[in-house]
Chains A and B, each alone.
Chain A
Amino acid sequence: MHIMEGFLPPAHALGWAAVSAPFLAWGLRSMRRGLQAHPERRMLLGVAAAFAFLLSALKLPSVTGSCSHPTGVGLGALLFGPAAMVPVGFVVLLFQALLLAHGGLTTLGANVFSMAIVGPFVSYGVFRAVAALGLSRSVAVFLAACLGDLATYVTTSAQLAFAFPDPVGGIGASFTKFAGIFALTQLPIAISEGLLTVLVVNAMARF
């Protein structure tokens, strides 16, 4: 879930940008280190970012007939690791803002935090944890992608609640409101994302 252009107050917009920037710098640094050993990966990162963007622009068929968009960051985190997903996710989100009008430039920092930092790390952590428990790959992949997606949406709801606390119930009530309303769209997306990621990983494993 993306926060739209201009929706966050300036202090929050700039604040989240400041929070995300070090992560981006760290991701780029670890990427650069990898590229010194494998210069040919530069092309790979570009193509992978394009593929992640393509996945995020897909309309998934869902049981209810409505359409939803996956984020693709869960799959990316599993394939490239969470560190690489910060810059890749940044590029995807910037392109979404500029080419699809999803999200925005002023809200890029906040969206990068929820979708390119929290999401991939949760996905990666869940995958590691579930795999360590000895459950099947499909279960691990499903939970990783699904929970990564949910973590993104919970983070976004918290960011909105933090920016717009409820005058009566404060941040807590505001969080409940945002999380509750967006759950309608985000829960099916998280499940869809999990399913699609399992199908993709299984298809890839066969090649």
Chain B
Amino acid sequence: MVRIDAAAYACRWQGVAPSAKGLFALAGIVAAWISRSPGVLALLALMSALATLAGARVPLRTYFAVALAPLGFLSLSCLTMVLTPATGGGWQWTPSLLPKVSVIALRSLAVMTAVLGLMLTTPMPDLLLLLRRLRAPELLLDMMALSYRMLFVLRQAWDEGSTAQAARLGHRGWRQSWRSMGLLAGQMAVQVWQRASALQAAADARAWQGSLRFLPASFPNARREVALALLAGAMLLALALGDWLWA
């Protein structure tokens, strides 16, 4: 959680309008959905990854660390798909399915790299701003804004509590670990109500009117950035459309 969040604040595209980055990612997703040939899908994935790594200067290490878990899922699922029921019961390895499965895997990769490009370069408050502009329900936005802030507060509370437990041998063995986690989670669950009422008091003290309203960030170069994103996105889509028509 900290890795992706920190990368988004540190990258070179941090101040770029979220609408531009959102449009580019959307183009990447749609292009991946349209394309059919493995070569073009691989090219799309490569272009999205390159934009993130070379354009936004997200460190390669971060990128791979973040992609590792989804890649695990992908390999396990693809392995599953090339197994078919054998005639005499049991399962057999079916190499003839490989081309089809590899297209699924590459499409998944192309979509994933497009979304990674968005999330590794856009801090959450900007994403929420984008959602607000897309008319997401206000209640949902309030919940997201508040819970994003509280994530870090609760995370710190959890780490401190867990360290204090370790100092009293609370993680000595797995039995102790289970008991400690149960106690800590229980105590923090009770605190959820206290924290909520403290936040409520703090909001009331600043003349709360019933919803969490914040000043939207301004992106002075938004127009130019959106135009560039549209151009780049159109390139991806053209590539995909060509593939769809002629493949």
A residues neighboring B (CB under 8 Å)? 2-7, 10, 28, 31-32, 35, 39-51, 53-55, 57-58, 60-63, 75, 79, 87-88, 90-91, 94-95, 97-102, 104-106, 160, 164, 166-169, 173, 177-178, 181-182, 195-196, 198-204, 206-207
A177 cross-chain contacts in B, Cβ below 8 A: 80-81, 83, 91
- The residue on A at minimum CB distance from B151 is A50
- Tell me if B199 is interfacial: C-beta within 8 Å of chain A: yes
Instruction: Give complex CA distance A3, B135 in Å.
Output: 26
- Tell me if B10 is interfacial: C-beta within 8 Å of chain A: no
**How would residues 138 to 149 of chain B score, 1 for a CB under 8 Å from any chain A CB and 0 otherwise?**
011011111111
Give min CB distance, B171 to chain A, whole Å. 8
Cβ of A6 and Cβ of B155 under 8 Å apart?
A: no
- Tell me if B29 is interfacial: C-beta within 8 Å of chain A: yes
Cβ of A203 and Cβ of B111 under 8 Å apart?
A: no
Cβ of B185 and Cβ of A167 under 8 Å apart?
A: no
Cβ of B181 and Cβ of A60 under 8 Å apart?
A: yes
- CB contact under 8 A between A53 and B4, given known A28-B140, A167-B97: no
Task: Label chain B's interface by main secondary structure.
Answer: helix
Contact of B110 among A6, A40, A44, A196 (CB under 8 A): A6
B166 cross-chain contacts in A, Cβ below 8 A: none
B135-165 interface with A by 8 A CB criterion: 137, 139-140, 142-151, 153-155, 158
Task: Label chain A's interface by main secondary structure.
Answer: helix
The size of the chain B interface, using a CB distance under 8 A, is 77
- The residue on A at minimum CB distance from B210 is A39
Give min CB distance, A164 to chain B, whole Å. 6
B214 cross-chain contacts in A, Cβ below 8 A: none
- CB contact under 8 A between A173 and B143, given known A54-B154, A101-B119, A104-B111: no
- CB contact under 8 A between A169 and B84, given known A5-B112, A51-B188, A99-B4: yes
- Tell me if B205 is interfacial: C-beta within 8 Å of chain A: no
Instruction: Give complex CA distance A75, B109 in Å.
Output: 34
- CB contact under 8 A between A47 and B85, given known A7-B74, A196-B181, A200-B186: no
